[in-house]
């Protein structure tokens, strides 16, 4: 049943209410989804989500789409274990056609769908739904540049909630869209081409282009041979439907530019869209985080070393660099969603005598591993990579887990890798990095930093592995968040009457502290290695190779994330799922 137009504003209010209520309870991306409610309603009234292919960029703005397709009854499970994902997932619904989570993939993927449609002779519309922040990214630019070569029809919906591309030009935008999509205009143009040749069709196109140039500024899309329509009011459902209908009947690639208000419908989100971009679940304790501690130490180091500069890729709030940015405005660079560019620019600064510190989520570092290897490590440049959200990252799901920085980083020459477990060891690692003449990677987990330091300080700052507790028969070796798990395992062993394990903190993962490791391998019958990263390529695999090479009689137990895509759940639920708990460690020891 098609809803009466008069009821559409009521529907929009109801969708916003469901989003606000759910996100406040479960956490999630709020502002972007609130801003595209009317745009999504209009889109679903003009396109068939089961037949047409709607590709969301990132997926921050996909909540209204989920509610209005086939997941209203499940929406209360958003981001919960075994519930629906916070991002589009093909396995979740036939209306989700491409998995997303990282930005700027939509146009490339949509071009693939469009060419598949052409090759298979299918009849369907392909829509890439992208935000203005995601558009300013190398991958998106590469796709835009290639559209002309594909000679295929594609609809790009640009959700601009920052008015970053051009000024509003009122009713002329709609007039121009009507002109471009007008069937009579296109029939005349095609007839002239067919019977009189291209030479006589050109004046008709010049008349249209002359009108466009009079009423709107030129833009990069026209230069790329992509017809640009807009900007339009993305909250005007009736006009949006008209524009989408025109786009459906247009025979060339077209970009539809809609202005929206991020956080619309929630006054506090409209007033502070950055703060309300993403919310944590209600009831989650507010305490000092790893991000805050790392940025504070960077500020202290920068006060004493004018060569230190800091980088982030559109995550200044996420990595808590707001204070650094205000304190050192000339030494702070937010490059936008451009991780590859960021690392190579940092390499250039380092080669020029500056000391760059790059603050980046582990999951986003994946987008710049070539630059880390090719531009930084091969030249042995003093760039410090501060890897936030390393390890199991919780409810953001498979695209956002920080599990590859160690397996990949261990294979990169010249790179030293540190994994602090508390603020003291974080400070030690950052002090070492500030003095090194080569690249350093420091990884730290998501969430709260321990209130009390739990490891042992190294006066010379050189010990890569330190002993926290003595033990008999067996030892635990881990890093980062796993150190707390090892301490809890020792406590459980004491309660269960199991031999107390020694506990070792691997502060530096690469290069390994061979002197300390030799001591462990000659002192204990069993060694259990814990790590919050993929086990293939991890610390445990490195230790296993050393044991095999030396033909040591030590029994090795490895605990980490297996070769799987990690689904969304809380961090504690994920640790339970993959056996990173004291109970499983003790049970595995007793069964071995």
Catalytic positions are 262, 339, 367
Which helix (H) or strand (E) is 517 found in, with range? helix 514-523
CA distance 109 to 97: 10
The CA-atom distances, in angstroms, between 408 and each of 44, 312, 373, 533 are 42, 21, 10, 11
CA proximity to 95, closest of 122, 60, 121, 62: 62
Asked if residues 477 and 527 have their Cβ atoms less than 8 Å apart, the reply is: yes
Provide the b/e sequence for 341-373 (b: ≥16 CB within 10 Å): bbbbbbbebbeeebbbbbbbbbbbbbbbbebbb
CA angle 177, 1, 49 (to 5 degrees): 55
CA distance 163 to 483: 47
CA proximity to 412, closest of 436, 391, 393, 438: 438
Which are the contacts of 374, defined by CB distance < 8 A and separation ≥ 6? none
- The structure tokens 């051009």 sit at 166
- The structure tokens 């130490």 sit at 297
CA distance 246 to 457: 67
Joined together, the tokens standing for residue 189 give: 């143009």
């Amino acid at each position: 049943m098609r809803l009466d137009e008069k009821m559409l504003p009521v529907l929009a209010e109801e969708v916003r209410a469901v989003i606000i209520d759910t996100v406040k309870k479960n956490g999630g991306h709020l502002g972007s989804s609130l801003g595209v409610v009317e745009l999504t309603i209009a889109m679903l009234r003009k396109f068939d989500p089961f037949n047409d292919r709607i590709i969301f960029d990132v997926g921050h703005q996909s909540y209204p789409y989920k509610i209005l397709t086939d997941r209203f009854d499940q929406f209360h499970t958003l981001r919960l274990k075994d519930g629906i994902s916070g991002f589009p997932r093909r396995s979740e619904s036939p209306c989700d056609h491409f998995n997303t989570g990282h930005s700027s993939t939509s146009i490339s993927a949509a071009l693939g769908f469009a060419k598949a449609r052409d090759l298979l002779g299918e009849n369907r519309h392909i829509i890439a739904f992208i935000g203005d922040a995601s558009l300013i990214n190398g991958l998106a630019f590469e796709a835009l540049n290639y559209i002309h070569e594909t000679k295929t029809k594609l609809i790009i919906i640009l959700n601009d909630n920052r008015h970053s591309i051009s000024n509003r030009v009122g009713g002329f935008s709609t007039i121009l869209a009507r002109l471009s999509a007008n069937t009579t205009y296109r029939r005349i143009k095609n007839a002239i081409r067919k019977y009189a040749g291209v030479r006589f069709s050109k004046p008709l196109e010049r008349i249209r282009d002359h009108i466009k140039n009079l009423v709107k500024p030129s833009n990069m899309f026209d230069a790329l041979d992509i017809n640009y329509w807009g900007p339009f009011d993305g909250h005007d459902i009736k006009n949006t439907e008209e524009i989408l209908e025109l786009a459906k009947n247009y025979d060339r690639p077209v970009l539809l530019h809609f202005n929206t208000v991020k956080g619309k419908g929630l006054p506090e989100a409209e007033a502070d869209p950055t703060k309300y971009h993403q919310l944590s679940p209600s009831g989650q304790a507010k305490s000092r985080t790893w991000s805050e501690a790392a940025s504070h130490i960077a500020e202290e180091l920068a006060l004493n070393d004018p060569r230190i500069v800091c980088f982030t890729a559109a995550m200044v709030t996420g990595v808590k660099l707001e204070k650094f940015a205000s304190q050192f405005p000339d030494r702070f660079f937010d490059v936008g969603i451009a991780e590859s560019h960021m690392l190579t620019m940092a390499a250039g600064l380092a080669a020029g005598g500056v000391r760059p510190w790059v603050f980046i989520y582990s999951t986003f570092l994946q987008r710049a591993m070539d630059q880390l290897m090719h531009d930084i490590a091969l030249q042995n440049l003093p760039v410090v990579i501060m890897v936030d959200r390393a390890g199991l990252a919780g409810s953001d799901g498979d695209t956002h887990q920080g599990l590859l920085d160690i397996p990949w980083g261990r294979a990169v020459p010249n790179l030293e890798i540190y994994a602090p477990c508390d603020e003291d060891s974080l400070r030690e690692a950052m002090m070492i990095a500030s003095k090194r003449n080569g690249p350093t990677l420091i990884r730290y987990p998501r969430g709260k930093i321990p209130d009390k330091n739990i490891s042992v300080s190294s006066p010379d700052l050189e010990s890569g592995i330190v002993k926290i507790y003595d033990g008999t028969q067996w030892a635990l070796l881990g890093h980062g968040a796993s150190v707390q798990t090892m301490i809890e395992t020792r406590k459980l062993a004491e309660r269960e009457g199991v031999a107390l394990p020694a506990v070792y903190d691997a502060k530096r993962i690469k290069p390994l502290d061979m002197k300390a490791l030799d001591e462990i391998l000659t002192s204990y019958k069993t060694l259990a290695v814990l790590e919050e990263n993929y086990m293939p390529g991890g610390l445990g695999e490195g230790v296993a190779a050393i044991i095999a090479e030396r033909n040591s009689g030590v029994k090795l137990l490895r605990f980490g994330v297996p070769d799987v895509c990690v689904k969304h759940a809380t961090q504690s639920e994920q640790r339970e799922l993959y056996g990173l708990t004291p109970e499983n460690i003790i049970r595995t020891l007793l069964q071995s």
